[in-house]
Every structure is written in structure tokens, then in C-alpha cells.
Structure 1
């Protein structure tokens, strides 16, 4: 039996493309999720092609599966052993944390492992090495006091009111005990345990690098990242294997090959300033074409006030005739690119900038990160700026993407 392991809609598209290309049969789809979000995995399960999978199941993980929590990692490992029962081939797109444990378990059981394209994250170690995160004792103790409630006890920072004194004094022994328990289960202590264990749990700290086969859009870029007996180029959006089954829902767009497509991404930036910067960048590119237009495709996670700000900016700047907003958001944008083949794709660090080159080499792909951060200035929080730059840095591996 072939087990296809995913957690995102984009992964489903790549895995289904591989199944169609290689005519793989006897397949089971497992969709990983946490209790924090059940809507997305249900949508993925609904979108899965029933003709390609004999069975699709939702598999729940602990709430924070990337955290160093020794007991949770132990429980996940035991659960994964059952998940791999009867499996001959394991197809996966991620290779860190609990995925690395799954990979180690599979290898130890003689199960063949296959790495399938995920997106930009597939190439995250092309120019950087994996570094195991080492938790700090101080941070773990602070987290433990927060989890136990001791951090918020008025005896903790300062003595204030008689009522809170009495209440917190009663709670104090239990909170102190709870803090000790949480400290024992902290990331710092869990890390110390993980570096000592000799079984599959230790893989949580590393990266799965050895596979029987690798199927990605740009396999040559991964030569120094992963080892595999067989590497193939996966053209997910090849017209012969890619089909968006709900394409009628998009309606008829008037995109022409002289137009621009801007792909939005959700970042923690004040919406008014973010929208203003995006529209200014689009205006700049519209000046290079006399009658071309720009179509904005929002991300499903974009904030409603950001979308409203974009719409307001378009009206205020009298750009209604030059900028059109695509009403639908929850669909693979590649379906639009395949059908209409616009002149240019603008984005920040969207994976679509990577795949567009497989669809057509005539489409210009531009990452506007530099211009965006310049327009935003101090309105972009430092943490968000760092995240954007880290995401954009992964695009450096792709020569066809222009960075401005």
C-alpha cells in the first residue's frame, strides 16, 4: 500500500500530479491536522480526487507538534508506528520535526520513502544548513510559569490588593507545584531527553535526507540537500495531469497576455500602510504598459480590513479601469496562469513565482520585496520584515525570478 502524507492543499495538488504521471495505484491519503484548525483539513479531504485514493483519513496531531515536548513526541511516535502498518511506500513533502520521525520509522521498517514537491519550503536548505534549535532554560522556565498561572499571580510581580493577595495566596501552592511539573515537561528538559534517546524520537531534532526517490519541480537544486537513488522532475501544472475541478466557480476573467497578475500574501503589517504600498508598486508597473491591466488575487488568509483598504485605494486613486480584484480567493492560482498566461506575475515570496516558469517561460516573474519594504519603511514591524526577508531569500535559488 502507498501512503501519501500531507497537511496542506498545495501538497495535495503535487501528490495527485505524481500519482497521475506515474499511474500509481493502491493509495491511501492521510491528512495531518491539529485541533486548532479542522476546517482546512476537511476542505482538503473534500477536494481530494476519489479516483486516485482508495481511502482518505484525517489524522490528528498534538496541538503544537513542532514544540519540544518529550511526552507528546513519544505519543506521536507510537501513533505513527500504527499509521505505517501495512505501508510499502511513504510519500511525504516535509522532512523536519515529526515528519523526520515518520521517515526514520519508515526506513527502520523497510518502507521505501519518497520526497514530493511541497513548495518553496522544499528548497529551504539549498543555500543554508539545518540548525537544530536549542531551547533556553530561562525561556522554558518563563513559559512554565505562564502555563501554570504563576506568572500572573500578584505575588509574582508585586503585592497589590488584599483580595488578590488572599486569592493568589490560596492558589500559590498549586501554582508552584504546577510550575515544577511544567518545567519537567519544558522544551529545555525535553531537548535534553531527546539528545539522549537512541530510538526514532531522536529524529525530531534533525532532517530526513535519505530517500528512495525524489519528485520535485527542480530536482537539480536539491543535489546537496538530499540523497536519493532516483530523482525526477515533477511538472505538477502540466496540462495533461493538472485539472482544477471547480474551474467554473472562477467565472470568466478578462485577463489578457499583456496584463499583470499580483498575488497577495498575508503578513502582520498595518493594513492601511500595506495596501497603500501594494497599490503604489502596482501603479509603477502599470506605467510600463499603455493599456494593460493588473488583476489582484488575494490570499485566503488575507485580513478583511486589508482587502477593504486595497479596494478603497483603487477607488481613491481612480484606478478602477486599470486594477481589477478577483472575487474568489480559495483556488490554485496556477489554473488562471495556465488559462490566460498574463505578461507578468508580481508577488513577494509566493511559491507561484517558482512554478510559473514551468507553465510558460514567456511570463516575467518578479518578487517585489525590496520595493515593498522601501515603501513601508518603519510601518513594517521588525519581526515581520525579518520573516519576509527570510522567505524571499529562498527565491535566490531560482534564476528566472527577478528581485526588485
Structure 2
């Protein structure tokens, strides 16, 4: 039993769920992080949903998250809560893990038999869960979780590695057997040594666990639910999202509902936002810049951002307030923005705090614009404050970053996120 489980009506094993729950759960919500807990709690309160069961899925890789959920969920909303541990890397193609996940999800759905299952995601093991629930008669409902909800097209399918060829063998051999001096010098004479035997085991293990071989095993296994791991689940009975029209384009949803999760912040979130606005004297004519972490050269990043912000400030008396990423920014980035503050005599100003809710600051301060790279706040700002404009420097970064190996991953990620952003009409790319 998980050591952090201590609250009433909270469980860590499927078998521990009271048998009286059978056929009595009306609404089951599935979450994996605190953001999702906030989304579903807000929806439950807004829609006045009763008889709610909460399924919290987690892995050993990050136990602090389920502990935080355990300590913060509202027991007046959720009648029963099950914490279910998944194998590490649950989205990787691994027959053993997927088979275990499918079997466990089937047990859970059989046990609680929900009339309605609410999901924040629709990929990988969530798709397996959704398909099982559909088969057993549950309605499956989508709750928006940020911009990730809009990243897929209706035709998109994950790569189903269905071929095993010489390229795969050469690749794995290069990573294992070919590294050994024995292989290089003595292979032709078939002289077996301890090193060669060890690398041989590694070769066969890597070969067996390769996505190509694992996919073959899954495809041969007589359980269609395992194959649903490859394809996003699209056939929702209902959806609660901020952009119902776009949701309709992305999914096969029978009923689309408008739901904006930032409409009702907590009292603490509102008070914290007001304290930030008052401390820095943020006014309606000002801008907010939302810094993000990408795997790109930090010096180049700072220089491009500075030039972009200064162009926006030409001919006006506005101030750009910089909100650093909640996850600790690199010291060089922080120092770079502080240098900008000095150089511009406060026209670019750093907000020292980073853990506050930016959406509430936008709403209460009524700033005229939000600037960022691919932050979700660029999309939601127009829903938060109708007069607020959104500006993205994503294209500028991609064009001006030096074509160097150290920037490859970061540029690829910016491009990927930008494709999502360009579906929304309210964003200007500068």
C-alpha cells in the first residue's frame, strides 16, 4: 500500500475499493497532476456534478505529485479516490507494460462501472482506457487541458512500427556488439569471451525491447485494446473546452460545451495577482512578456527578445514586465533580463516572483498586450480580457537563432508548438 495514503475513502489498490461501489459510480474523473485536479474541480462546481469518483494515476518516477494531490483534493466533492500506480514510462511502446495497464484499467472500470468517464487526455494509455470504457457502456467526456488538446488532427496516428529489417539489426549491433574489440578482431573466428557474451545479451535485449519488435508482439496479441495505444481516442460523447468549434474539427464529439477553467480563480490566486499588480504598478497601457525554457543558446535568446521588446516599445511610454518561467530559470537568463532592466531604465522590468497565476494578472490589470513564444496564455488572453492583444516571437526566434547543433532541439520544439498556436486567430506573430 502506498505510504502517502491516509485520508478517508482513499485507496491504493483496486481490490480495496468497497464492493458496494459496484454499478453505483455516476461520474469518474481521471487525473495525473495538480493542474488537472484544478480543471476537474472547477468543472464539477460549475456544472454541479454529483456522485464523483477520482482516479489518480501516477508512477514511481515522481511521487511528490500524487502526494500533493492526496493532500489537496476536496473530499466534499469526491466520494471515493483511487491512487493507481502505472509502470514507469507508461507512454513507451512496451508490450508487458501496455498489457498490464490494459488489464488494470479493465478491472477498475468493471469495479466502478461509471456512467460517465471524464478524461483530460486522449493519447496512449488514456486511449486504451477510453476504449475499454466505451466497450463497457460508459460515456466518455473530454476536458480541455491546455493547448495540448488541439495538437492532433483527426487523421493523425502514432507510428506503428510494423517492420523489422536489416537497418534495425545494424543499429542495435552498432550500439552493442560492434563496440567490443573482440567483435572487431575475433568475430570471424567465433571466439567467445565474457565481453562478447555480455554484449550479445545486451544485443538481444535491445532487439526484443525495440519498438519494432514490441509492436509486432502487440499486433499478434488477440486483444484489440492494446492496439488502441497507437491511435488517439477521438470519439467522445461530450467535451468541455474553451474553443468548441476547434474541438469539433479535431474530434468526433456528439456534444460540445464551452468551459474556461480560468473563469473562477481561488481567493488566494486573486489576492496574489492583486499584490503583484500593486507591487509593480502594472497599468492597462503596459505589456507582459512570458519567458519560456527551450533548449537554445541563452545569449542568443536574450538578444533576440531584447530587440523584439524594444521594437514594441518604440513611440510609447509603456513598460514590458517580464515573468520568468515558474520552473527555475537559468541564472544567465535571469541576469540577462536584469541587465535589460538597467539598460532600458526600467522600460523592460523583471517581476521577481514567478509562481503566480498569469491569467489572473492579465484579467485584473487589463494590460494591453501579452508577449511570448508559445505560451498558452497567448491563446487564452483574449478570453480573459477582450482588449488584450497577443504577440508571439516564435517565428523571429526560429529565423534568427544560429543554425547550430546546440539549437536544433529547441528550434524543433518551438516549431512544433507554433503549429498549434497558428490555429488561433487572435495571435500576431512579430
| TM-score category of the 2 structures, normalised to the smaller one | 0.7 to 0.9
Alignment match, 2:314 = 287
**Which of 410, 413, 416 is residue 384 of structure 1 equivalent to?**
410
CA deviation profile, 1:338-397 (whole Å, cap 9, x unmatched): 221211011111111121121122100111112222332336723321221121111222
Q: CA RMSD in A?
A: 2.9
Alignment check: 8 A CA contact 1:140 1:187 kept: no
Kindly report which structure 2 residues correspond to 1:150-161, keeping only aligned pairs within 5 A, or say none. 150=177, 153-155=180-182
> CA 1:331–1:113 in structure 2 vs 1: closer, same or farther (change >3 Å)?
farther
3-state SS, counterpart of residue 25 of structure 1: coil
Gaps of at least 5 residues in structure 2 are 1-24, 187-191
CA distance in 1, matches of 2:174, 2:324: 37
Relative contact order (C-alpha < 8 Å, sep 6+): which is higher? 1
Alignment check: 8 A CA contact 1:259 1:342 kept: yes
**Which of 214, 238, 261 is residue 190 of structure 1 equivalent to?**
214
Give the deviation of 1:50 after TM superposition.
4.4
> CA 1:304–1:383 in structure 2 vs 1: closer, same or farther (change >3 Å)?
closer
> CA 1:402–1:28 in structure 2 vs 1: closer, same or farther (change >3 Å)?
same
Alignment check: 8 A CA contact 1:93 1:115 kept: yes
Counting helix residues as a fraction of each chain, which structure ranks higher? 2
CA distance in 1, matches of 2:194, 2:268: 60
Alignment match, 1:176 = 200
Alignment match, 2:22 = none
> CA 1:155–1:8 in structure 2 vs 1: closer, same or farther (change >3 Å)?
farther
CA distance in 2, matches of 1:318, 1:300: 25
Alignment match, 1:210 = 235
The answer to whether residue 265 in structure 2 is matched with residue 242 in structure 1 is: yes
> CA 1:30–1:280 in structure 2 vs 1: closer, same or farther (change >3 Å)?
farther
CA distance in 2, matches of 1:59, 1:248: 35
Give the total of aligned pairs: 391
Alignment match, 2:257 = 232
The answer to whether residue 337 in structure 2 is matched with residue 314 in structure 1 is: no
Alignment check: 8 A CA contact 1:123 1:221 kept: yes
3-state SS, counterpart of residue 90 of structure 1: strand
> CA 1:374–1:394 in structure 2 vs 1: closer, same or farther (change >3 Å)?
same
Give the deviation of 1:226 after TM superposition.
1.6
Give the deviation of 1:144 after TM superposition.
5.7
CA deviation profile, 1:9-54 (whole Å, cap 9, x unmatched): 4333322221121111222333333333333444455454444333
> CA 1:323–1:146 in structure 2 vs 1: closer, same or farther (change >3 Å)?
farther
Structure whose alpha-carbon radius of gyration is higher: 2
3-state SS, counterpart of residue 56 of structure 2: strand
Alignment check: 8 A CA contact 2:117 2:133 kept: yes
The answer to whether residue 292 in structure 2 is matched with residue 265 in structure 1 is: yes
3-state SS, counterpart of residue 403 of structure 2: helix
Alignment match, 1:349 = 374
3-state SS, counterpart of residue 103 of structure 1: helix
Q: Which moved more, 1:65-74 or 1:33-42?
A: 33-42
CA deviation profile, 1:310-334 (whole Å, cap 9, x unmatched): 334325x523522222233234321
CA distance in 1, matches of 2:339, 2:182: 50
Kindly report which structure 2 residues correspond to 1:116-195, keeping only aligned pairs within 5 A, or say none. 116-126=143-153, 129-135=155-161, 137=164, 141=169, 150=177, 153-155=180-182, 169-195=193-219
Gaps of at least 5 residues in structure 1 are 160-167
CA distance in 2, matches of 1:143, 1:49: 51
